[in-house]
Structure 1
């Protein structure tokens, strides 16, 4: 029994020494981390960002959850213009923070970095998180108002770009439709021209066939001309209901002879003194 108690006592004493050692090492790491943070702050204040960055990294190496190390390293990156590295370090600081004040500072700086990157909507959320941890900070509230206005303009620009894109797509579709219609019209005109060319060729073929028949027609015409000459030599045949020229000539001669006889008779009567009756032209 005494032996068992001795073993248990030794066990607890060993655990106690191990815990004490770990606590000493942890305290030493925190002390070293704080020292490196202090050193980094002094270097950055002298614009020696390269050495300051190395000091902050040593602080984080001693204590990976060092809020001061990540926060100050993020500020150093921000001042150098390395915004992506600064954003990452402030996010680490926000995740490692245990107090509201630390979280407020981390989220406030995250909002500033996002505003620099023209990510206004995300900056609005960051400033809101900062105000949740410290609602009395007027600077954060002012930055939130700016971020909201920026996000509004960002959304309007996005909507305008969407409208322009849709208009461009609609215009391209309309242009394509017009182009297709034009192609169809040109195709129809081409088919019509080809049809007209075919009709003209067909007509030319008919004309050529007619030309090939012309020699026979000429012969027939020559024969007709010969027949006409023969008919001219023959005396004209009187047509029914009409007098021939010879009959008219004979009739005129008979009328002249008759008139001459009447005139001779009248002259003979005048010589005898016998009055002559004439028809009056009344």
Structure 2
């Protein structure tokens, strides 16, 4: 495998998507830890990197992208490696879990490919792209993960509380997703990709994210206090305080200098929020 191919798979970026998986595990308790490990491998070491690589192949970014500050030029190898990893994820999902999981993995893979493929390119459709990314990385992934960990098949869709958890995951992503695009405005515009963040503008993206963050935290608090131990809502709010502090401090800097809405600050926000959420959901699993 070429070094450029490996870099474009962006394995470390899967850490930013880990909170949804851990939230699903908390919802699915009790579960088999061997199944937990298998599902982690399928999602974070195969499915997500395959999506990253496939989208990078068609985007051919020259500027910074999520998890890769200086992306190298892509090669045809990346296209084939992405497909192999995708198919491997589906095959393992079927063999270790069920055909239902394999089907959902297939659907997720096809929707992620639609984001950058020139025939569809959801990235050029600001609202539709935002909805698809939020729903599939949030709600769909949580339902898929709970189904696999519980071994419940499609009956998972009969449980109202699981639907609520999936909806909350999507709501959180609806707020954070435009923020991941905030440093790519110039390159997206030059390529004709009109993202939601580009439509909102830099300040508008911050306000939009703040509004969704506030709403999702309030609803998470209500959900956690009702469906888990009563004080879990308080712990969730406390766990996200570092995110709030960094976000407001960064926004203040951007108001003075728009150039501060850059790759470094964005990745730092992603890292802080992912660490806080991952730590909380791990606590929730073991509590």
Please confirm whether the aligned pair reaches a TM-score higher than 0.5, indicating the same fold. Answer: no
Determine which structure has more spread, i.e. the larger CA radius of gyration. 1
Q: Using CA pairs below 8 Å that are at least 6 residues apart, which structure has the higher relative contact order?
A: 2
**TM-score, length-normalised on structure 1?**
0.20
